[in-house]
Structure 1
Amino acid sequence: MKTLSIKSLALAGAVAAASWLSSTAVGVAQEVTLRLHQFLPAQANVPKLVLDKWADDVEADSNGRIKVERYPSMQLGGTPPQLMDQAIDGTVDVVWTVVGYTPGRFPRVEVFELPFMMTNAGATSRAYWDLFEKEMKDTDFQDVHIVGTWVHGPGMIHSKTPVAKLEDMNGLKLRAPTRIITGLLGELGATAVGLPVPAVTEALSKGVIDGAVIPWEVTTALKVPELVNNHTEFGGDHALYTTAFVLAMNKDRYEGLPDDLKKVIDDNSGQEFSAFAGSTQASADGPARQLAVDHGNNIITLDEAEVARWREAAQPVYANWVKEMEAKGIDGQALIDEARALIDKYTNQ
């Protein structure tokens, strides 16, 4: 009897151990690690205020079953223009990138980068998400899963020499972030130099460029107020330009998640997240601007009459873009009209 009891206990223990191992194996199988790759230093505003918040929320909402590893400054290799392909081919799981780093590849997105299109980052980011869902999801972005779409705050000019009127642009070599802004700077009389934003600091310090067009918020991380003395802002309701971003996930990685973890990603995606990202990025403009003021730099704000001259000079950018879209079989004017209507809708809410 005693022997039987010992055997029974041993069998029960083996069953319990097998059950524990099985449940553990299932638990491990359900855990997910996502590698998030992007081009800015970890302490820059977007990684610190937007991407870390998104990653922390995903981890918390999944009760720790999803872990988001964060890799700033292209630590996993490649260059900023390669980020989208890294997400598409699964080299990494999630990327944050400037859509225009691959010129012409995502043509419909460019509508939001046209000059004097955007009002504020929150409203424009909401409009961007709406137009993404309607016009871009199954066309430009069919090979990747998009988590968020947003733009930065008002783009402006930071230069070594003052830009107080349109004629001051003549001959300046200015860093441009995207194809659309390259065309804009050309129409305004400057020479555009295409550079990813991390390259701005070295290009300014070595005299490769005379200035850059970027929003205030990123100037601190790039040490721009230490490298130029002049900053030109645009009065009125619309910014000179903005740049379009996406937070993109490998499609197979997303679709392969269990339904409950897919819901965690969904709950941290979409229009509300996009508006949060754009507004949060823009909210860092003020403190960065104050640092330039404290540095004693010259801040120029163009008045309404002067801005009207820039608007007129920028009109060929629209005509050229519509023509380019027509060549691709895209109704560019319809996109412009729809983007403007959506921006107005959310700006006036």
Structure 2
Amino acid sequence: MRKTFLALLLAAGVTPALAQEKTFELKLSHWVPASHPLQKALEDWGTAVEKETGGTVKYKVFPAQQLGKAFDHYDMARDGIADVTYINPGYQPGRFPIIGAGELPFLMSDAKGGSMALDAWYRKYAEKEMKDVKFCLAFIHSPSTFHSRLKKIVTPEDIKGMKIRPAHATMANFVTQLGGTNVQSSAPEVRDIIERGVADAVTFPWGSVVLFGIDKVTKYHIEAPIYVTTFAFVMNKDKYNQMSDRQKKAIDNNCTTEAAGRVGEPWGKYEDAGVEKIKALQGHEVYKLTAEQTAQWKKAAEPLVKTWGEGVKKNGGDPDAALAELKASLTKYNALAQ
């Protein structure tokens, strides 16, 4: 009888090991629209895992905050509300201080190389900083900038008195340092707060300005690579630990530095294409900074390195070593801004 059962399994293409494995359907959660390139990135990730596990690990993607607010996605993975989530560590100032190095202005030049460099560098730090989840991979979007409604922002002094929605904690510190006021909101809420006059400007990537309708409420755009935002995919530890060794290996095979590049590159291209889209819109002014103005911005950003370093020290880290390692990783992956 047992031989007959095994023969049936093998005829169906199912090995005995596969037959004994528990089947999982992973809930993959994010907070941007389903039309965002991140949707496909998560679908591709889930498909790769499903294929490598012979269909014993399936997936379903939940976009647009269906399972919870953008700010809550790390805790959602920790608590098992979702199995794999997309997080912006900078949405929670002070909670993940080390990865904040990736947010420092004028540091990264390229989405694919920057994603791989950030991921390769951060893995050892994630073991401590994100210890209550399984860290999968880290990545960035393309270098991004200020988009404003009422006036051109040309020099750092122009921020004084403005209400700005920052991309993350580091840009929030920058705005405060320059005399502006921060207005906190997740990406899906940005258009509304600018439309209502709650904020005057936003730091945002180019393609997403159009995707989220922010082009309808802004007019002036600096064409300069001022900052990037760091992101990560994280997974519920309990769900991962319930899996067989073979299933875990499939997850691990898709939680690599190479996988980080595969997530970062298409999103980067999508955001970069937004520059020309906005230039083509009526009533918009896209303008470059002079060499002198760029130098002013870089000088104004210098204190942010010290602020970031103090946050790392408070958590027992060595900021000088960490930043030197990150720059070395960026150099290796040809993504260090000049």
Q: TM-score, normalised by structure 2?
A: 0.89
1:265 aligned residue (236, 251, 254): 251
- Give the partner amino acid of 1:257: M
CA apart distance, 1:268 = 1.4
| 1:243 matched to 2:234 | no
| 1:315 matched to 2:302 | yes
Q: Is the 8 A contact 2:114 2:335 kept in 1?
A: no
Inter-partner Cα distance in structure 2 for 1:291 and 1:311: 27
Cα-to-partner distance string for 1:321-348 (whole Å, 9 max, x where unaligned): 2223223322112211211121122117
Identity %, equivalent residues: 28
1:292 corresponds to: 278
Inter-partner Cα distance in structure 1 for 2:335 and 2:146: 27
Inter-partner Cα distance in structure 2 for 1:348 and 1:252: 35
2:135 aligned residue (130, 146, 154): 146
- Give the partner amino acid of 1:32: F
CA apart distance, 1:291 = 2.1
Inter-partner Cα distance in structure 1 for 2:285 and 2:179: 22
2:51 corresponds to: 60
1:156 corresponds to: 145
Q: CA RMSD in A?
A: 2.4
Stretches of structure 1 that go unaligned for 5 or more consecutive residues are: 1-11
2:115 corresponds to: 125
Q: Is the 8 A contact 1:98 1:245 kept in 2?
A: yes
CA apart distance, 1:57 = 2.1
Inter-partner Cα distance in structure 2 for 1:303 and 1:47: 37
Q: Is the 8 A contact 1:95 1:249 kept in 2?
A: yes
1:167 corresponds to: 157
Q: Is the 8 A contact 1:204 1:210 kept in 2?
A: yes
Inter-partner Cα distance in structure 1 for 2:64 and 2:207: 17
Superposition pairs for residues 316-335 of structure 1, below 5 Å?
316-335=303-322
Secondary structure of the corresponding residue to residue 124 of structure 1: helix
| 1:214 matched to 2:210 | no
Superposition pairs for residues 1-349 of structure 1, below 5 Å?
27=19, 30-48=22-40, 50-76=41-67, 78-134=68-124, 136-160=125-149, 161-234=151-224, 239-296=225-282, 297-347=284-334
Larger radius of gyration: 1
Cα-to-partner distance string for 1:165-224 (whole Å, 9 max, x where unaligned): 333222221111221110012223322212111110111111111111011121122111
Inter-partner Cα distance in structure 1 for 2:50 and 2:291: 47
2:12 corresponds to: none
CA apart distance, 1:254 = 1.2
Cα-to-partner distance string for 1:228-282 (whole Å, 9 max, x where unaligned): 1111122xxxx31111111011112112211222122122111001112122211
Q: TM-score, normalised by structure 1?
A: 0.87
Inter-partner Cα distance in structure 2 for 1:188 and 1:52: 40
Q: Is the 8 A contact 1:42 1:72 kept in 2?
A: yes
Q: Is the 8 A contact 1:231 1:298 kept in 2?
A: yes
CA apart distance, 1:61 = 2.9
* Range with greater deviation from structure 2 (288-297 or 302-311): 288-297
